Amino acid sequence: MNFLEFEEKIGYSFKDKTLLELALTHSSYANENKLKKNNERFEFLGDSVLGFVTAEYLFTEYKNRPEGEMTKLRAAVVCEKSLFKFSEQIDLGKYILLGRGEESTGGRNRPSVVSDAFEAVVAAIYLDGGIDAVKPYILRFIKDAVKREASFKDNKSLLQEEIQKVKGNTLTYEEVGEEGPDHDKTFIFKVSLNGEVIGEGKGKSKKEAEQNAAGSALEKIYNEAL
């Protein structure tokens, strides 16, 4: 196995190469070669590390997004489909150690196999270099994915989807005030559901204030649903 080539692709050099080898060892290869270990335990740890780093990034970068929306964003970014796309960027399938049967049935390009290996590699980097080593590796992939997902669903669109679950519901946005001097104004908006105020938000533009008002309303709706 060409460790150096793969390390160059992922931008990380392992101190303990056996961690990388184990991360790339599929159960079919381990069974065929009578090895005691495969990458399944690494998948478990990698899933948690990936979820944590993604959650921290969302919490830090999207300060006005409600918990429910961040949960949806995280789920979309770390799902099998997304991980498989990340894996394609580093040609991960090429380096997985597979048994002959798995190889012959297309395992090297199977999303479930490759995405699991991606999680295992995350775990290996974490075990080898800690959170400071694995965080930039993960952010390399998730930043653009988060932006894409977030752009699909803004707060106003999400709120509209929520209230449409009940036929006849109507949303209205209204400017209720301004703060600050003319050159640095902050706008204040409220959003009402069937005439009842359900959220309020501030922003440097009217659009931003409306989005934050919708975010406030979504947070209230999600919390009430818990």
Q: Which residues participate in catalysis according to the annotation?
A: 47, 119
* Secondary structure string (H, E, C) spanning the chain: CCHHHHHHHHCCCCCCHHHHHHHCECHHHHHHCCCCCCCHHHHHHHHHHHHHHHHHHHHHHCCCCCHHHHHHHHHHHCCHHHHHHHHHHCCHHHHCECCHHHHHCCHHHCHHHHHHHHHHHHHHHHHHHCHHHHHHHHHHHHHHHHHHHHHHCCHHHHHHHHHCCCCCCCEEEEEEEEECCHHHCEEEEEEEECCEEEEEEEECCHHHHHHHHHHHHHHHHHHHHC
* 48 Cβ contact list (under 8 Å, min separation 6): none
Beta bridge partners of 202: 188
